[in-house]
Amino acid sequence: MAAAADPLSIAVVGGGIAGLTLAIAMLKNCPHILVTLYESANEFGEIGAGVGFEPVMVRTMGLIDPRIAAAFEKCSKGNTATEPPRWFTVRVGDERKKDVTSGEEVFVMPARTGPRGGVHRAHFLNELVKLLPEGIAQFRKRLQNITEAEYGSGKVILHFTDGSTALHDAVLGCDGIKSRTRSILLGDSMASKTVFSGKYAYRGLIPMAKAIDIMGKGTPETPQLYMGYRGHVLTFPIANGTLFNVVAFSSRPTWDQPEWVVQTTREDMLNDYKHWNPAVRTIMENLQKPDIWALFDHPPAPTYYSTKPLLCLVGDAAHASTPHQGAGAGMGIEDVYILSELLSQCTSKSDIAKAFHAYDAVRRPRSQKLVKTSREAGMLWELEGEGVGDDLEALKQNALTRMNWIWDHDITEDLTRAIGLMRDGTSAAVQ
């Protein structure tokens, strides 16, 4: 009697939202594949505070695993809901803008109906961790390199900075914007390097009770977007409505420092908003830690995968974007849905290569469009959009339609197309 073939073995590199959801998805949908998740830190953790998901992304979570959508809803309940749903109430916060009353509502960006809103990254991650069985994750494993095994098996060897190695059939790179798997895949090309977007942000959390005390009831509990010249400010509730999340953007032409998060002075921070209205200045005065977060993104990669070694990029490792359309994390969720469904049909390494090819064909155009249009949105909110500038009526018309392609997308149609590519036996040429 012939011995049963060894099960396929896949490494997931990176334990952020994309890596955890992908591992959870594969454990649910790919019982024939052994999954190991490698995380460089001592434990799971997320950088930053608030992250938002719109209904289209939450529905995709449910398609992956209803428990993931439930985890999101657990973290988002308590946020004030509006009827009809609003993405943001848009206001001008910069008093230099003439012909408009600073602080008054200019227009409302409607949202789609369904579970949505902001959550605290760490809280959401903690709920995802509960869905991952013990023994799947290995910590303190910082990836150094990936090589092919020498004896012709087609397997890949992961080399870690602690001197250890691991042998797998394929690697899924979910290691974020500073991705090591991306640099291994793309080599020394410009596409492997991050690019400064010209924007930076101050981030902070204010207890909701205090925010209501200093701003009055109503505005703090619902998402607000204050526009200005070369800057804009977002506020929205997170942590079940108990925290007022602030992300205040400003501009500079270059970023020369090696670190992306640097301390600044309160004076410099407040100086960035000296021409803004009292509401915005009050928000900024109540931020406790004046750190600057530089905003980088990725230039378009020519591919998200290779067959030698068998490696595929997911989430921010593939398409890190600026946050100006609130869809970066959601794009990673879409990646996970498509890739995990394709991998569920794989029984060999050649199947995995075909799955990677189909995933790349379907996901790369959409996710790279997000990177491009998110940069454009950052310019729009700062009254410097191409062909729009500070014309508020033109800006409104642009804003009210620019999210449709993200929010009204049917991800199941993408899956049907990807499965067709995979089943057609489309050659996954060596990348």
- The model's pLDDT over 325-339, given as tens digits with 9 standing for 90+, comes to 999 999 999 999 999
In-domain check, residue 431? no
Domain boundary among 250, 274, 297: 297
Residue 48's pLDDT band (cuts 50, 70, 90): low
Q: What is the pTM of this model?
A: 0.94
Same domain, 162 and 265: no
Asked whether residue 397 is domain-assigned, the answer is no
96 is catalytic: no
Q: Two tokens at 165?
A: 């190695």
Annotated active-site residue in 91, 116, 182, 203: 203
Mean pLDDT of the chain: 93
DSSP string, 339-382: HHHHHTT--SHHHHHHHHHHHHHHHHHHHHHHHHHHHHHHHHHT
User: What is the pLDDT confidence band of residue 289, given thresholds at 50, 70 and 90?
Assistant: confident
Look at residue 310 and tell me whether its pLDDT is greater than 60: yes
In a domain, 36, yes or no: yes
Q: Is the pLDDT at 196 greater than 90, yes or no?
A: yes
In angstroms, rounded to a whole number, what is the distance separating the alpha carbons of residues 113 and 228? 29
Q: Is residue 392 part of a domain?
A: no
- Same domain for 233 and 277, yes or no, is yes
Domain containing 152 equals 8-79+117-194+298-382+404-423
Task: Please give the average per-residue pLDDT across 88-98, as a whole number.
Answer: 96
Per-residue pLDDT, averaged over 175-199, amounts to: 97
* Residue 358 in this model has a pLDDT that exceeds 60: yes
Q: How confident is the model at residue 174 (pLDDT cuts 50, 70, 90)?
A: very high
Residue with tokens 């020498």: 150
The length of the chain is 431
Residues 280 and 246 in one domain: yes
Classify burial at 253, counting beta carbons within 10 Å of its beta carbon; exposed 0-12, middle 13-18, buried 19 or more: exposed
Based on the domain organization, do 39 and 106 belong to the same domain? Answer: no
> Per residue in 64-74, is it b (16+ CB within 10 Å) or e — as a string?
bbeebbebbbe
Residue 26 CB contacts under 8 Å (≥ 6 apart), including other chains: 10, 12, 33, 35, 340, 343, 344
CA 315 to chain centre: 7
Residue 125, phi then psi, degrees to nearest 5: -60, -40
Q: Are residues 139 and 49 in the same domain?
A: yes
Pairing of strands 310-313, 170-173: parallel
- Domain co-membership, 239 together with 150: no
Residue % of the chain over a pLDDT of 90: 84
Domain of 223: which CATH number?
A: 3.30.9.30
Residues 168 and 223 in one domain: no
Domain of 315: which CATH number? Answer: 3.50.50.60
Please say if the pLDDT value at position 428 is more than 50.
no
pLDDT band with cut points at 50, 70 and 90 for residue 44: confident
Q: Which of 266, 297, 328 is the last residue of a domain?
A: 297
Q: Is the pLDDT of residue 3 over 60?
A: no
pLDDT bin (cut points 50, 70, 90) of residue 70 is very high
Sign (positive/negative) of CA torsion 251, 252, 253, 256? negative
Q: How much is the pLDDT for 429?
A: 38
Q: What is the DSSP letter of 191?
A: G
Q: Is residue 336 part of a domain?
A: yes
Q: What is the mean pLDDT of residues 311-336?
A: 98
**Mean per-residue pLDDT, 35-55:** 87
Number of domains in the chain: 2
Residue 390 lies in a domain: no
pLDDT tens digits, one per residue of 101-115: 999 999 999 999 999
Q: Are residues 370 and 271 in the same domain?
A: no
- Count of CB atoms situated within 10 Å of the CB of 291: 15
Cis ω for the linkage preceding 207 (within 30 of 0):
no
pLDDT, position 50: 82
Q: Is the bond preceding 66 in cis, omega lying within 30 degrees of 0?
A: no
Last residue of a domain, one of 297, 324, 348: 297
The 3-state DSSP class for residue 390 equals coil
329 lies in the same domain as 287 = no
Is the domain of 315 the same as that of 341?
yes
| 164 and 310 both lie in a single domain | yes
